[in-house]
Each structure stands twice: as structure tokens, then as C-alpha cells.
Amino acid sequence: MILADWLITPFSTNQFMLYALMAGVIVSFTCAIIGTFVVLRGMAFIGDAIAHGVLPGIALALILGIPGIVGAAAGTVVMISGVSLITLKSRLSSDTAIGLLFVGMLALGVIIVSRSTSFSGDLVRILFGEILGVNLQGIIIQSAAAIIVLVVTLACSRPFLLLCFDPEQAQVSGFPERLYHYIMLALIALTIVVSFQTVGTLLVFGMLLAPAGAGALLARRIGGMMAWATIFGILSVYFGLLSSYYLNIAAGAAIVLTAVLIFFIVLIIQNMRSKQVRRLKLHPPHE
């Protein structure tokens, strides 16, 4: 009974904790879907670049007094467009283009912040999120984004799968590789733009990678991987919020750290199981 109270009371007696849990569950679901493709396709670098590239857009938006989500959207458009332009107009690889825009946008964001007075509080909110300040409107926006990500992913499931495992086969099957690549990028950008208000630009990348990475260790099919990623994401949000409540630590950071810890726990267990299976194959038990 005492344990149940310890696990439930923070959410049943505090509306801000309940809203944070609801928002976190939605973010976990969205990040699980698109994070699966980020992991399978090896798009971690572009995901990280977008997560950091939104900083100047958010900073400008807050200075101008407009919603930060509008600035984040503008930042992602500039980031993706810039990478595409450099790749198309030069012989540089996409990784080089991403790296250039990554450091450029991050530097621009830091310059904007440094030129603005009394910006420190807003900077912390941008980088690390404000999940305990999420309101009902934010939950509705996140829910809408989650529905969009789910619907587009279902509609593009076959070309997305081919892009992850056999891009040439996608082209042969009549799916333009570049088009679906940009659709996938758009979904990554949407997830980051909407999720930054909850866990911040620095930490949303962890929610994209850690639960999906843990799911990849357990599942053999993409649906199973998404399911495991959703479960691990929700567990990360729940126990991260509990840690934040009882230990008085930053909620967003606690959530992402919990997600990373879950990944390493799964990794250790899987390695132990693999060693046991190999040992049994080498030395089968006598009947």
C-alpha cells in the first residue's frame, strides 16, 4: 500500500505532474515511431543536427514575442533546405553538409542568445524543456503531431521499410528515394519541433534514440521494435518524473537519463542471454 502511494500519489495529487505524464506518454509514442526509422536508417547525425539547428529559430521567436514552436519550425526548414542545397550544388557529402549547418546554426543560436539580455531562463527552457509546465493546449498540439506521424508512417510504411533495408529496391519498386527521404526528414523535424517544449532541444534526441535502440535489441520486426520503443519511452517518462519529484532534479534530464539506463540494462541482459545460448550450443546438456 505504501509503495502504491509512492508510485501514484505524485500524479493523483498534482495536476502539473499528471499533465507532464500525459505529454510524456505522447512524446514517447511519437519518438518511438520515427525513432525506429532514425535507428534503422542510420540517421542519428541528421536528427541531432535538426535538434540543435532549431535553437536560433526558437531564440528569435522568443525575442520577437511569437510562439517558440513557430521559430523551431522555421529553424528546421532552414536546416533541411540548407543541407539539400549544399548537397545538390557541391560535391560535398551529405554528412559534411549536415555538419556545416549543424555548427553554423548552433553558433548562430548562441550569438542570438548572447546578444539578448535576461535570456538565461528562456535558454534553459529551450535546451532542457519544461515538461512540468505543459498545459492542456500543449498536450493537444502533441497529440495532433502524433496522429500526423502515425498516419503518414502507415501510408508510407512500405517505401520507408525499403529505404531502411534496400534503397535501390525502393527505386526499382517505383518509390522515389529522394521524395520519401524528405518525407522521413519532415517527420523527424515535426517530432523534434513539437517535443522540444517537453524535453528540450538537447534531450529530445535522446528520446528518439534510446528507446528505439533498446527496441532494436529485442525485436526482429519493425512493429515489435516500435512497440518496445513505446513501452521503454513510457517507462522512462514515468520513472523519470518520479525521480524528479522525489529527488528534486530536472525532469527532462531525468527522463532521458532513465531512457539511456534502460537501453544499457537491455543491452547487458541481451549480451548475457547471447553468451548463454552460445554456451549451450557448444556444450549441450546431456539427456
Q: Are 149 and 41 in contact (CB under 8 A)?
A: no
pLDDT tens for 50-82 read 877 788 888 888 778 787 778 888 888 888 888
Question: If you search the block for the grid coordinates 534526441, which residue do you land on?
Answer: 205
CA angle 44–47–53, rounded 5-degree value: 140
Nearest C-alpha neighbor of 71 from the set 178, 184, 196: 196
What is the pLDDT, as a whole number, of residue 182? 86
CB under 8 A, 24+ apart: contacts of 178-185? 180/156, 182/80, 182/84, 183/152, 183/156, 184/34, 184/37, 184/41, 184/43, 184/156, 184/160, 185/46, 185/50, 185/80
The rounded percent of the chain whose pLDDT value lies above 70 is 90
Burial readout 47-75 (b: 16 or more C-beta within 10 A, e: otherwise): bbbbbbbbbbbbbbbbeeeeebbebbbbb
Q: Which domains does the chain have, with CATH numbers?
A: 2-272 (1.10.3470.10)
User: What residues have CB less than 8 Å from 176, skipping those under 6 apart?
Assistant: none
Q: Are 208 and 31 in contact (CB under 8 A)?
A: yes
Question: If you search the block for the grid coordinates 535501390, which residue do you land on?
Answer: 168
Nearest C-alpha neighbor of 222 from the set 131, 156, 138, 135: 156
Instruction: Map residue 135 onto helix, strand or coil.
Output: coil
What is the pLDDT, as a whole number, of residue 92? 73
Q: Is the pLDDT at 180 greater than 90, yes or no? A: no
pTM of the model: 0.84
- Is the model more confident about 78 or about 91? 78
Q: Are 200 and 127 in contact (CB under 8 A)?
A: yes
Q: Are 122 and 58 in contact (CB under 8 A)?
A: no
What is the pLDDT, as a whole number, of residue 238? 94
| Per-residue CA distances from 275 to 135, 146, 222, 226, 265 (Å) | 47, 39, 25, 26, 16
pLDDT tens for 184-240 read 888 888 888 888 777 777 678 888 889 999 999 998 888 899 999 999 999 999 999
Give me the amino acid identity at 21.
L
What is the pLDDT, as a whole number, of residue 225? 93
